[in-house]
């Protein structure tokens, strides 16, 4: 581990005090000036921080290169996904060694079996080569890749900055030519009409909120506005149902939903609402051909499943009543069956419901042998399919793609993520443990380690957490993580409240005025790993990103002695400042997650009590690495920039804090896979250095 008191010296941000006044409280913010990325002084400061970070981590260069090579050598770089059937084609994507981006392909279907995926596929048609479209751009991302129902046209949208605003183009797949249609400033997603004559898309407002649905008839000079949502809490999205009968327009806030359906065969028609919004009622719609299936929480916190007729979609008849034992996440409907996707006992589950003359049969859950795993719906585009595709993974099982025969129940493994380089997967093992939170709540922890790691109180640990928006950090396999495990590190996930691992109540008890449970749960998980004999505090590095970065900033203030280091990626560490400003992207919709501190003094006081930036104090902190992106539109770079500046100016002792800003990236970091691997290698090497394993 390098000495902090050696050169170089860290940058010092200028102090330019401004006052923030709300509810009688005055907060003096000395670093708000860092918000303006067009200011040369701001850019110079960020570059100085990058230079300092590079100098402070220069001794890790050989380790970074070693880890990058490990990731590269263990990854099958020329590979392709399992082809998925839609209409007369099998669709898939491939990667080529040395190329940053994926290539989207298809091949004409010949029979019901997908083509072999361990080599070249005869008759392959390249629809879109991401490497060609990206060109020399430092950043490249796709917002949609959408083939028309007749297979003739491809709609795709491109972001070359990282700000999540895309330009949509149409390609004639029969000729390879681009149509003259070009739609700028669109958001994620798209939906074709049934005949492929019209495409629907969304646009964002000044706060980056998708709020409009537009209709573009191919070749038309002007587009038509289909729907606009004035309520700033609501986002809109658009999609074509699996059976291609309807264009679905979904509007949703954090707590309330509304869905409209438009006849896909009449793209110029008027959408019809399924059920008018009711405050606090969330629902999703699945078109089941002769009826609708509605997943909703109108009568159960963990969601029920109902049916509705096409003629009277707002009248719901309960099919499965929600209960406390499982959280219904959604359904996939097909001509002859329905698949339930739900959560039970902190694990995900898929269950088959067959259509019967009377309606639907009882759910038949798919069973798995591992005690900890994640199962999830795969790509299933065919309405009349007799097989269902799903994904499976665990902390020790690489991502696997299966088809299950719905008549016989027989499963077929189509592909498992290859792990090269002589890795012996049997050398690793996984555990599920439970920490006890301050209020007595049991908090699940998932762990993975090499089998030869001793539980002697000295194991190095990386403890990961998120805990917001009901997003569950279900166990997943990671090739880059092997570079930690093979050096003796235990990787653990704290399934803290605010996520959805144990149902809706788990989320409700980690948001709004119970948000501190998220932080104390994470601290309890760290303390459990010490009490249970795994490690000691200085051998734990905590890690989280975005809202998980808020978690990192909060626990740094609340329990700095519980960790030896903290990695905060695109961290939401200036939460109160952001949530107080409705002009900023995402703020208004976030009020249903955090509360509205503008209007409610109690919310203001509560958020100020935990918001990381406001609570930096003259105490000793563990080592901290903050990573951000200049073009991030979700968590602005200014948040970690201000946080780091304040830590340096306020913390006791020689605080060891680094800020790394990606100057050509968005919320997800670098876009090319090799660039992303190098960024992972940077973070992993810092973690190993902090754990004394460099």
- Residue 269 token pair: 């028609």
Catalytic residue, candidates 146, 632, 656, 689:
632
Distance of alpha carbon 251 from alpha carbon 241, whole angstroms: 16
Specify whether the CB–CB gap between 191 and 240 falls below 8 A: yes
Cα torsion 169, 174, 175, 176: sign:
positive
Catalytic residue, candidates 253, 546, 611, 685:
546
- Residue 317 token pair: 């008849």
Residue with tokens 């700000």: 163
HEC string of 84-130 equals EEECCEEEEEEECCCCCCCEEEEEECCCCCCCCCCCCCCCCEEEEEH
User: Residue length, the chain?
Assistant: 694
Distance of alpha carbon 297 from alpha carbon 307, whole angstroms: 14
Residue 14: C-alpha distances to residues 53, 122, 574, 638, 648 (Å) = 19, 62, 18, 14, 12
**Cβ atoms within 10 Å of 48's Cβ, excluding its own:** 15
| Spatial CA neighbour of 378 closest among 334, 332, 418, 337 | 332
Examine the residue annotation and report whether 632 is marked as an active-site residue of this protein: yes
Catalytic residue, candidates 187, 385, 667, 671:
667
Q: Which residues contact 287 (CB under 8 A, 6 or more apart)?
A: 241, 242, 243, 245, 246, 248, 261, 333
Distance of alpha carbon 423 from alpha carbon 244, whole angstroms: 44
Specify whether the CB–CB gap between 458 and 489 falls below 8 A: no
Distance of alpha carbon 139 from alpha carbon 143, whole angstroms: 13
Examine the residue annotation and report whether 471 is marked as an active-site residue of this protein: no
Examine the residue annotation and report whether 546 is marked as an active-site residue of this protein: yes
Residues recognised as catalytic = 546, 632, 667
């Amino acid at each position: 581990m390098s000495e902090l008191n050696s050169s170089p010296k860290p940058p010092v941000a200028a102090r330019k005090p401004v006052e923030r006044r709300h509810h009688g409280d005055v907060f003096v913010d000395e670093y708000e000036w860092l918000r303006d990325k067009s200011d040369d002084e701001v850019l110079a400061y960020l570059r100085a921080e990058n230079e300092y970070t590079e100098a402070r981590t220069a001794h890790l260069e050989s380790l970074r290169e070693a880890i990058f090579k490990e990731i590269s050598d263990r990854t099958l770089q020329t590979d392709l996904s399992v082809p998925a059937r839609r209409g007369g084609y099998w669709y898939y994507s491939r990667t080529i060694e040395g190329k940053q981006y994926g290539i989207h392909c298809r091949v004409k279907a010949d029979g019901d079996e997908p083509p072999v995926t361990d080599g070249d596929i005869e008759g392959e048609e390249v629809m879109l080569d991401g490497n060609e479209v990206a060109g020399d751009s430092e950043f490249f991302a796709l917002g949609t890749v959408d083939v028309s129902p007749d297979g003739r046209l491809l709609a795709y949208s491109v972001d070359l900055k990282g700000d999540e605003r895309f330009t949509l183009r149409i390609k004639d797949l029969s000729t390879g030519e681009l149509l003259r249609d070009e739609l700028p400033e669109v958001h994620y997603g798209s939906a074709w009409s049934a005949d492929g004559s019209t495409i629907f898309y969304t646009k964002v407002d000044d706060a980056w909120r998708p709020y409009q649905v537009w209709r573009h008839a191919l070749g038309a000079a002007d587009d038509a506005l289909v729907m606009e949502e004035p309520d700033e809490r609501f986002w809109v999205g658009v999609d074509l149902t699996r059976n291609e009968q309807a264009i679905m327009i979904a509007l949703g806030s954090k707590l309330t939903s509304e869905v409209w359906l438009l006849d896909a065969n009449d793209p110029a028609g008027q959408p019809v609402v399924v059920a008018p919004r009711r405050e606090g009622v969330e629902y999703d719609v699945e078109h089941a051909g002769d009826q609708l299936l509605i997943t909703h929480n109108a009568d159960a916190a963990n969601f029920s499943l109902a049916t509705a007729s096409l003629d009277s979609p707002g009248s719901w008849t309960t099919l499965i009543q929600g209960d406390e034992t499982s959280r219904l996440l959604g359904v996939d409907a097909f001509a002859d069956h329905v698949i339930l996707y739900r959560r039970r006992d902190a694990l995900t589950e898929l269950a088959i419901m067959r259509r019967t003359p009377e309606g639907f049969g009882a759910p038949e859950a798919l069973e798995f042998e591992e005690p900890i795993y994640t199962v999830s719906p795969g790509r299933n585009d065919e309405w009349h399919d007799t097989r269902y595709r799903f994904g499976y993974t665990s902390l020790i099982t690489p991502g696997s793609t299966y088809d299950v025969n719905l008549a016989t129940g027989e499963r077929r493994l189509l592909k498992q993520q290859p792990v090269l380089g002589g890795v012996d997967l049997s050398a690793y093992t996984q555990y599920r443990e439970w920490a006890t939170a301050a209020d007595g709540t049991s908090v699940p922890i998932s762990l993975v380690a090499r089998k030869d790691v001793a539980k002697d109180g000295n194991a190095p640990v990386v403890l990961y957490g998120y805990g917001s928006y009901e997003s569950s950090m279900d166990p997943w396999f990671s090739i880059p993580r092997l570079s930690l495990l093979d050096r003796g590190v235990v990787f653990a996930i704290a399934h803290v409240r605010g996520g959805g691992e144990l149902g809706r109540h788990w989320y409700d008890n980690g948001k709004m005025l119970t948000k501190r449970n998220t932080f104390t749960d994470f601290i309890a998980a760290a303390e459990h790993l010490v009490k249970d004999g795994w490690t000691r505090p200085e051998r734990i590095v905590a890690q989280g990103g975005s809202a998980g970065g808020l978690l990192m900033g909060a626990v740094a203030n609340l329990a700095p002695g519980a960790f030896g280091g903290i990695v905060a990626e695109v961290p939401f560490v200036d939460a109160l400042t952001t949530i107080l400003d409705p002009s900023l992207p995402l703020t208004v919709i976030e009020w249903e997650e955090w509360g509205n501190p503008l209007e409610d003094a109690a919310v203001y006081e509560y958020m100020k009590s935990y918001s990381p930036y406001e609570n930096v104090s003259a105490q000793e902190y563990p080592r901290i690495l903050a990573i951000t992106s200049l073009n991030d539109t979700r968590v602005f770079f200014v948040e970690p920039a201000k946080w780091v500046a304040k830590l340096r100016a306020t913390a006791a002792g020689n605080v060891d804090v680094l800020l790394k800003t990606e100057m050509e990236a968005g919320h997800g970091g670098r876009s090319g896979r090799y660039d992303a691997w190098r960024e992972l290698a940077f973070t992993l090497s810092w973690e190993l250095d902090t754990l004394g394993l460099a």
